[in-house]
Structure 1
Amino acid sequence: MGLGAVIVASLFIVKAVFIGVIVVAVVVGLWELTSRLDEKKGIKAPLIPLAVGGAAMVVAGYVRGAEGAWVATALTALAVLAWRMTEPPEGYLKDVTAGVFAAFYVPFLATFVAMMLKADDGAQRVLTFLVLTIVSDTGAYAIGWRFGSHKLAPRISPGKTREGLLGAVGFAMAAGALCMQFLIEDGTWWQGLLLGLAVAASATLGDLGESMIKRDLGIKDMGTLLPGHGGIMDRLDSLLPTAPVVWLLLVVFVGSG
């Protein structure tokens, strides 16, 4: 709760501080992901070019928008290919493939948060993104725990239920209507309903996607940085894929700002 309060406060004080928060989360997330890949699969995705490139991608997205993010992403991929050439060729293909995947999965998706923040009402947009994702996760847990009896994807995530998914949709749509009506300039409640529905879908898919990765690796959590919650990647699983969805819908509904 304290960490969340600091993060939200940075949104409304100095935007650059929040960009720093994103960069730190990206670098730690990349470290967790590459470490688990190495430990469990022997895949050595090069962390240094990923960390440097990932930070550059977030900053470029904030400073230069989508064009800057794409250029930084391409340069990061090239840096991964070149960096791995300094080691023996055995395993080159799997290492660089994992590196490029990591670049897209963590920092590239995070750049959409930075692009949201770039708008005049960027703080409100990012707050809407955070609130809807958290409310979706909370609704899924609360309704699933109380009423869940039908498994959603038992082979991927046994704890998830269809009732929980309905809870995520209901909670997120209600929060979306409120956020679009009262937080986003020129936003309307019906746009919030659509936004909430999209967030519930993307957050659920993101959670299931990371569950697939963890099952493939044979681990429960990506890290231990947050006691009781796992690692940073275990908190970013639903946020990362939701960021481009919220960014796109806000641009369609109210413009880029």
Structure 2
Amino acid sequence: MNKKEMEPSREGVSPPVPRPVKLQAEGISMRFDDLAVLEGISFSLAEREFLCLLGPSGCGKSTLLRILSGLLLPVSGRVLLDGEEITGRTGKVSYMHQRDLLLPWKTVLDNVAVPLVLKGYGWKEAREKARAHLEAFGLKGFEAYYPSQLSGGMRQRVALLRTYLYRNDVMLLDEPFGALDAITRERLQEWLLGVVERLSTSVLLVTHDVDEAILLADRILVLSPRPGRVVAAHPVPFPRPRTREHLLTTDYLSLKANILEELRTWSR
């Protein structure tokens, strides 16, 4: 048998169908007085894609999320959701801040139900809908707890579920694990991997942690120091479901080295 005969036949095999674009940034620039923060940011987030924005502190990552969520108007550029312009319009995507922003006087269940009430549901129906998601987010049995009774990791789970229920097709996460200790952070990263596998949602996560980006993302965009610009894009070559064992491979070491070199180069 020759080499050609050994190769699998590709007759009738169609190439992978690209996922439709869910969220798109076109030429986003931002200034605060004389300070240029973002410059010409353009990228897209596909349906069910996990995209990480990676860059040094102060490069405008959080500002970009606020623009994408409609909380800030850019100096120039626009934001589109499913092809419709949503620049400056809030309530179109979910946005989780760096801090969990839980209401200390409300229980876990009521904190989670808040976004549903804001959508127009009554409290009874909102609680019922929220309760149905508690187990998937590791919160079953904690319904009656108050935020002060929870660990940092549990508070972040509550905040993530609240974000998901507000708008479950696009989630913008601003360094959700940045304030946690190393062990809790690793546990939450692994938990998020499992949750995302079960949810039909598109996720855009901001981080400055290269390991976190490679572990979680389907694709990584590298931003330059301020003013932030997209200077590189990297598909992550690891299949899903994904584990930390992927971070022990030569592919991982090569990708991490390339990203770190890009960050060093643009920071000079």
Alignment TM-score, normalising by the size of structure 1: 0.29
Ranked by relative contact order (alpha carbons within 8 Å, sequence separation 6 or more), the top structure is 2
Q: Which has the higher helix share?
A: 1
Q: Which has the higher strand share?
A: 2
